[in-house]
């Protein structure tokens, strides 16, 4: 079994089309087909079901793919370890993050890190909360910044970076707009703008409202923080939003109001794998952000 065969197999599995895989790999279609055939001959099983010009994985093919993805990640990490062993200050950091952390938190941390280590490169992956956790478990990435931190995950280690307030964002012409603070129950009759179901921030907000005896009436949904702020700015509803997402700029025609009774908060932190060592440059960044946010919190307090 050769690494080339494995990479050809993974590309075909991804695209479910031999010609498209060959084009992506910049090799002849016959070369890809031959290597897949040789791999199946060596393993003694069919990895694909052929359907004209398209293919799809057999059941054993899907299992084999899962193992090969982990194996290739290990090989790629090993190559990167060797490169970074020579100089960890010139490595590449692969890091995942959720939408609500994209505008301020992660860029701020990266900016200050690169002031000390200007030759380090970053590859950033924005994804949903659960996909980021799964990515760290599977080895697609080794660090993710998420909020809130997950509980009861055996294969990941979590470090709290900071705790942030969740505030109300409402249109500036709203009857409550001149208030210095709001009780959550005062929003029970409002139309809400929230993330769709399956987003963890929506779950945090729903749980807080339910604890106060009401379920928010969701009139509009947005898959990213900017669209949610835009809908509120247009007067289409109110929302509850992490304060850090509006730290630089309050959206037009909106006001930010602290929420009391209860005070809504969420923990934000870094997750890393328990069963794998971080690469040298990743370890450098991981230790940096823990210290950076500790110093930042002390300064703010």
Please check whether residues 262 and 195 belong to one and the same domain: yes
pLDDT at 103: 65
Prediction pTM value: 0.64
> 184-195 b/e with 16+ CB inside 10 Å = b?
bebbeebebbbb
Please check whether residues 216 and 255 belong to one and the same domain: yes
* Domain, as residue range, for 167: 163-266
Q: 137 to each of 38, 157, 256, how far by Cα in Å?
A: 31, 10, 37
217, 264 Cβ separation under 8 angstroms: no
Please check whether residues 286 and 239 belong to one and the same domain: no
Q: Using omega within 30 degrees of 0 as the cis cutoff, is the peptide bond preceding 192 cis? A: no
Give me the long-range contacts of 225-234 (CB less than 8 A, separation at least 24). 225/99, 225/100, 225/102, 225/103, 226/103, 228/193, 228/194, 228/195, 229/169, 229/254, 231/193, 232/169, 232/170, 232/171, 232/193, 233/171
Please check whether residues 22 and 34 belong to one and the same domain: yes
From 31, 57, 78, give the residue that closes a domain. 78
- Over residues 189-207, the mean pLDDT reads 88
Please check whether residues 124 and 32 belong to one and the same domain: no
Rounded (10°) angle between helices 129-138 and 59-86: 80
- What is the β-pairing status of strands 259-260 and 143-146? unpaired
Q: pLDDT tens across 121-174, in order?
A: 898 888 888 889 999 988 889 999 988 888 767 789 999 888 888 999 999 999
3-state secondary structure 103-114: CCHHHHHHHHHH
The CATH number given to whatever domain includes residue 167 is: 3.40.190.290
Q: What is the percent of the chain with per-residue pLDDT over 70, rounded to a whole number?
A: 96
pLDDT at 76: 79
Please check whether residues 129 and 273 belong to one and the same domain: yes
Which two three-digit tokens encode residue 113? 């890190």
Please check whether residues 148 and 292 belong to one and the same domain: yes
CA–CA distance, 212 with 259 (Å, rounded to integer): 13
Rounded (10°) angle between helices 29-43 and 3-15: 110
**Based on the structure, what is the number of domains in the chain?**
3
Please check whether residues 182 and 139 belong to one and the same domain: no
Please check whether residues 151 and 278 belong to one and the same domain: yes
8, 35 Cβ separation under 8 angstroms: yes
pLDDT at 301: 47
Please check whether residues 169 and 27 belong to one and the same domain: no
Instruction: Out of 34-43, 101-110, 204-213, pick the least confident.
Output: 101-110
- Over residues 196-225, the mean pLDDT reads 87
């Amino acid at each position: 079994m050769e690494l080339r065969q494995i990479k050809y197999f993974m590309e075909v599995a991804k695209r479910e089309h031999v010609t498209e895989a060959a084009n992506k790999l910049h090799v002849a279609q016959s070369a890809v087909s031959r290597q897949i055939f040789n791999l199946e001959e060596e393993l003694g099983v069919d990895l694909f079901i052929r359907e004209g010009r398209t293919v799809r994985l057999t059941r054993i093919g899907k299992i084999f793919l899962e193992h090969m993805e982990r194996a290739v990640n290990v090989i790629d990490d090993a190559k990167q370890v060797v490169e970074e062993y020579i100089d960890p200050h010139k490595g590449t950091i692969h890091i995942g993050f959720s939408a609500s952390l994209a505008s301020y938190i992660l860029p701020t941390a990266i900016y200050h890190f690169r002031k000390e280590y200007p030759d380090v490169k970053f590859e950033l992956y924005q994804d949903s909360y659960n996909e980021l956790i799964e990515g760290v478990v599977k080895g697609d990435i080794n660090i993710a910044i998420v909020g809130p931190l997950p509980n009861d995950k055996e294969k990941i280690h979590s470090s709290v970076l900071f705790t942030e307030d969740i505030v109300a964002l409402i249109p500036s012409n709203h009857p409550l707009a001149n208030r210095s603070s709001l009780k959550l129950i005062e929003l029970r009759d409002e139309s809400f703008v929230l993330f769709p179901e399956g987003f963890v921030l929506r779950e945090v907000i729903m749980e807080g409202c339910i604890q106060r005896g009401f379920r928010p009436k969701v009139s509009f949904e947005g898959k990213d923080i900017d669209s949610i702020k835009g809908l509120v700015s247009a007067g289409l509803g109110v929302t509850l939003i992490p304060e850090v997402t509006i730290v630089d700029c309050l959206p037009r025609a909106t006001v930010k109001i602290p929420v009391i009774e209860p005070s809504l908060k969420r923990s934000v932190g870094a997750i890393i794998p328990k069963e794998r060592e971080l690469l040298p440059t990743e370890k450098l960044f991981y230790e940096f952000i823990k210290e950076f946010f500790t110093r930042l919190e002390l300064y703010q307090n």
